[in-house]
């Protein structure tokens, strides 16, 4: 359990913008190893309460052990997409702050048997909650070629998606896709060598991202989940969301913009007649990026962006 240690990304920025107050009530919807949660609880004092949600039972166990000195810490096994229901079931009051740190945690990436990493040969699992849902192998071996191409194109923003999907289907016709290196091999066969040589990162990274997003249904419920979490905030409460790729960031940005300006009247209408009032105020003028010192120390933080909104 102690092996689940995850360096919290953009921790100083999160603390600055979530503004922990003495005795405040918080929700960390992506608990992980509990790094962000521990810092929030420490800053908010002994009477603070924090509900930590995670679908990974290993993370729940590790964070519970790490945060056992905080009487106000409550761990909840579940998905932040269901946060409003989970918080209601836990008897939580309105919140002073919400944090979401989206994406895969370092312990998940660094545990080969979880199947998230293209650097290690391991079973193709990729489920954040291993108690339910289909594995990456099941998806790759059963989905139609057109569905696979759509997943890799839409969730990985991969221009070679059609060729990769075709190659996956050719590979699985000879032998089922079982390991991460089976998938890496299919990607390598699909992307021309000249292109692979010019790649800045690993050629399979976008495909792995896409399959992981599909397996865990990360994007479809995100907009509604953010709206429901905003609904759980007190007036003046803040929601901080860290994203790691453009698809997530775009969804969060548009959701915040819609909550800040929900009016659906025609742009040239002299007066608003729809009656929709702003729900939040966007803070920090847009996306906040990690410091150079942090990205130098932790390369995985390079793609992180933090967006913040305050409930009106």
**pLDDT tens readout for residues 35-73:** 999 999 999 999 999 999 999 999 999 999 999 999 999
Check if the beta carbon of residue 114 is closer than 8 Å to that of residue 126. Answer: yes
**Own/partner pairs, 108-114, CB within 8 angstroms, 24+ separation:** 108/56, 109/300, 111/3
Give buried/exposed letters for 189-226 (b at 16+ CB in 10 A, else e).
Answer: ebbeeeeeeeeeeebbebbbbbbbbbbbebbeebeebb
Task: Determine the pLDDT at residue 4.
Answer: 64
Task: Determine the pLDDT at residue 41.
Answer: 98
Of residues 201 and 162, more confidence is placed in 162
Q: What are the structural domains of the chain?
A: 11-103+219-311 (3.40.50.150), 129-216 (1.10.150.170)
**pLDDT tens readout for residues 97-115:** 999 999 788 788 888 899 9
Cα distances (Å, whole numbers) of residue 179 to 103, 121, 124, 269: 21, 6, 5, 57
pTM, whole model, 2 decimals? 0.93
């Amino acid at each position: 359990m102690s092996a689940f240690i995850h360096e919290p990304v953009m921790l100083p920025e999160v603390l600055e913008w979530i503004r922990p107050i003495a005795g405040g009530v918080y929700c960390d919807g992506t608990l992980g190893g509990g790094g962000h949660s521990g810092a929030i609880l420490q800053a908010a004092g002994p009477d603070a309460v924090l509900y930590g949600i995670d679908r990974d039972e290993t993370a729940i166990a590790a964070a519970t052990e790490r945060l056992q000195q905080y009487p106000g810490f409550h761990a909840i096994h579940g998905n932040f997409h269901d946060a409003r229901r989970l918080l209601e079931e836990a008897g939580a009051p309105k919140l002073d702050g919400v944090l979401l740190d989206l994406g895969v945690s370092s312990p998940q990436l660094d545990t080969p048997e979880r199947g998230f990493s293209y650097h290690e040969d391991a079973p193709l699992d990729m489920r954040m909650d291993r108690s339910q849902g289909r594995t990456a192998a099941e998806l790759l071996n059963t989905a139609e070629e057109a569905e696979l191409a759509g997943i890799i194109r839409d969730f990985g923003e991969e221009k070679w998606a059609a060729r990769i999907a075709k190659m996956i289907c050719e590979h699985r016709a000879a032998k089922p896709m079982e390991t991460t290196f089976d998938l890496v091999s299919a990607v390598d066969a699909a992307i021309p060598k000249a292109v692979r040589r010019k790649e800045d990162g690993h050629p399979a990274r976008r495909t792995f991202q896409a399959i992981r997003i599909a397996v865990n249904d990360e994007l479809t419920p995100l907009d509604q989940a953010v709206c429901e979490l905003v609904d759980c905030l007190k007036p003046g409460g803040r929601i901080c969301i860290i994203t790691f790729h453009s698809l997530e960031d775009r969804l969060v940005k548009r959701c915040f913009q819609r909550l800040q300006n929900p009016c659906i009247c025609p742009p040239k209408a002299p007066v608003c007649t729809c009656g929709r009032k702003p729900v939040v105020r966007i803070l920090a003028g847009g996306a906040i990026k990690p410091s150079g010192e942090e990205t130098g120390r932790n390369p995985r933080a390079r793609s992180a962006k933090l967006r913040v909104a305050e409930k009106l």
